[in-house]
Every structure is written in C-alpha cells, then in structure tokens.
Amino acid sequence: MPLSVGSKAPNFTLKTMTSDGLKDVSLSEFLGKENVVVYFFPAAFTSVCTLEMCDVSGGIGNFKKLGAKVLGISCDSPFSQDAWAKQNKIDVTLLSDYSHKVTREYGVELPDLMGLGPASARAAFVIDKEGKIIYSEQTPTPKDLPNFEAIEASLS
C-alpha cells in the first residue's frame, strides 16, 4: 500500500547516469527549494512506461512553471535507464532503485511483474518543499497511467 497523503516522504539517495558518469541524487537536495514529483515505473523499454515517461518529458515545462522537480524511479540499472532515455528522448531525471529499497519504503513494490520477479508498481507522489506527501497514487495495474491532471492540480 503506497504511503498516504500527509505522510513524511522517506529520504533517499539513488544513482542516475549523467554525461560525467554515475551521480547520486537525494530527495533532500530539493527540500526547502522546490516541490518534487516522483514517478515510480515498472521497467524501461516497455511500451506503457515509455509512453508515460515520454508524456512526462513533453510536459516537463509545466512542472517547472509549477515549481516542481520531476524524478522517475525504477528498479532497472542506471545503465539501461540511460540507454532507454537516449533512445526515446526522455528528459526526466531517472533514478535506479536497483536494490528495491526505496520502492519498498514508499509501499509500491509489485511482488511479481509478468513472472520476472519484483518491480516498482506504477505510482506517483508529489512531495512539498517541507517533505510532506501532498499527492499519492498507485495505479490499479501496471498498464494504467497515473492521473497527470490530478498531479498537476496538486501543485497549484
């Protein structure tokens, strides 16, 4: 069960791939400065996840105007996330939760994704500048996209 609205968002530090190599990104580096939208997604190189992250990338300007940083988290390696992002022109900071620790802390781990083992569910959280969750959603199935309009509305 995903963390609920009003909960304190657990801090995390995860790896992302940059042009300079692997880099650590922590939730705490944004607190006090901007709201954060966190999208958990099951797997890179899948059709629904590609649609979701491409849609998010296309609307990244809206999130910036609303004062929010967008992060995408999956249990893929940062290397596969990077290849996927380049192939699909995904402009979202992608973070690797390869150990599944953050996925479990946020209560959004799927026990088995199509017989491949555990993965992140499709979920979205909006975390305010103080670190409180102001929007929480886990989609009914991995095939369903989050409610982008409700996510944006929570930032207004």
Catalytic residue among 49, 75, 92, 126: 49
CB count within 10 Å of CB 89 equals: 10
What single letter denotes the amino acid at residue 37?
V
| 54 part of the active site | no
Residue 49 to residue 47: CA distance in whole angstroms: 6
Rounded to 10 deg, the angle between the 47-58 and 78-88 helix axes is 70
Can you point out the beta strands (E) in the chain?
13-18, 21-26, 35-40, 68-74, 93-96, 109-110, 119-120, 123-127, 133-138
Residue 97 to residue 105: CA distance in whole angstroms: 11
Q: Is 68 helix (H, G, I), strand (E, B) or coil?
A: strand
Contact 55, 37 (CB under 8 A): no
Active site residues: 49
